[in-house]
Amino acid sequence: MTTHDSLRDEVRRKYAEAAVAVAEGSGCGCGSGSCCEGEASGDFGTSLYTLEQRGELPDAAALASLGCGNPTAVSELREGETVLDLGSGGGIDVILSAKRVGPTGLAYGLDMTDEMLALARKNSADAGVRNAVFLKGLIEQIPLPADSVDVVISNCVVNLSTDKDAVVREIARVLKPGGRVGISDVVAEDRLSPEERAERGSYVGCIAGALSQSEYEDGLRAAGLEDASVTFTHAVADGMHSAIVQARKPAR
Ligand SMILES: C[S@@+](CC[C@H](N)C(=O)[O-])C[C@H]1O[C@@H](n2cnc3c(N)ncnc32)[C@H](O)[C@@H]1O
């Protein structure tokens, strides 16, 4: 087994624990190091959503929020669009997206962890959402055809990938021409080396695996995406921020 495989297995194990903790009603288990952790309690989770959005969610879905931002707030989703959420966890952003795109649209959630998929399917059913589909798979090998998605969103997941180039290549492949990227993620300032990022938090805690701002923007451009930008929103550790990552696939 490679280092990459064992790291991915550790991520899967930790997020399976977090899903079980939520399903049992005891919160995300963050205190036990089972999910993303910042320096302050409001750095991650449901407090990053508006009261109106929280009102659209079953309690369990809100409780399951492990993200570092609110990608649905920046993606300007429209009726009839197809949205893909990479690492959909307990389903919060898929549920909100499904409501935005309406019955003529579709929201996919993709996750590798069975326990998270079970939680998301239950939360989505409890929210009365009928246009959401949860897929099991890796964000490095998205199980969807090329040119099939209008908007790719994700909330605090790309930093957990052991092959970020593959994730960005896959995003560029599945997007339709003119399709958009609206991702929330933890991103480091360019001054921090990978070793310095790792000193600030763990890999499963969404800190050590973070890309720097330039690495992110360069990676998006190298995959053929345009208008790539990374905008810091709030600090989660010294020199590390929650950020909004945006880009677009060129129109044909
Ligand atoms: C920090 S949680 C975020 C969940 C959700 N986006 C949210 O905002 O609540 C990370 C999620 O990504 C999933 N994940 C991590 N790495 C993955 C990968 N390489 N492929 C698919 N899913 C992955 C985990 O199983 C977990 O559900």
More confident of the two residues 41 and 197: 197
**Residue 117 Cβ contacting ligand 1 at under 6 Å:** no
Measured distance between the N- and C-terminal CA atoms of the chain, rounded to whole angstroms: 41
- With a cut of 70, say whether residue 244 has pLDDT above it: yes
Amino acid 128: pLDDT: 95
Higher-scoring residue by pLDDT: 52, 191: 191
The pairing of beta strand 226-237 with beta strand 106-111: unpaired
> Does residue 70's CB lie within 6 angstroms of at least one atom of ligand 1?
no
Q: What is the pLDDT of residue 47?
A: 77
Residue 245 · residue 184 · CB < 8 Å? yes
What is the dihedral sign for C-alpha 15, 20, 26, 31? negative
Q: Which two tokens stand for residue 7?
A: 């790291």
pLDDT of residue 31: 43
Which tops the pLDDT comparison, 70 or 168? Answer: 168
| Greater pLDDT, 53 or 227 | 227
Name the percent of the chain lying above pLDDT 90.
Answer: 76
The number of the ligand 1 atom at minimal distance from the alpha carbon of 64 is: 9
Distance in Å, CA 110 to ligand 1 centroid? 8
Tokens of 27: 């919160």
Beta strands in 69-155 (DSSP E): 82-86, 106-111, 132-136, 149-155
67 pocket-lining for ligand 1 (C-beta < 6 Å): yes
Given a contact cutoff of 8 angstroms between Cβ atoms, the answer to whether 4 and 154 are in contact is no
Kindly compute the dihedral angle of the four CA atoms of residues 31, 33, 34, 39, in this order, to the nearest 10 degrees: 70
241: enclosing H helix or E strand: strand 240-248
H or E segment and range at residue 251: none
Least confident of 23-37, 49-63, 143-157: 23-37
Please name the residue whose Cα sits nearest to atom 12 of ligand 1.
87
User: Ligand 1 pocket, 66 CB below 6 A?
Assistant: yes
pLDDT classification of 28: cutoffs 50, 70, 90 = low
CA of 16 to the centre of ligand 1 (A): 10
55: pLDDT strictly greater than 90? no
Q: State if residue 95 touches ligand 1 by the CB under 6 angstroms criterion.
A: no
Task: Say yes or no: CB of residue 61 within 6 Å of ligand 1.
Answer: no
Q: Are the beta carbons of 29 and 146 closer than 8 angstroms?
A: no
Tell whether the model's pLDDT for residue 9 goes beyond 70. yes
HEC-encoded secondary structure of 135-150 = EECECCECCCCCCCEE
What are the residues whose beta carbons fall under 8 Å from the beta carbon of 9, sequence distance 6 or more? 1
Atom of ligand 1 nearest to the CA of 111: 22
Ligand 1 near 161 CB (within 6 A): yes
- Which pTM value belongs to this model? 0.95
Q: Residue 226: which pLDDT band, with cuts at 50, 70 and 90?
A: very high
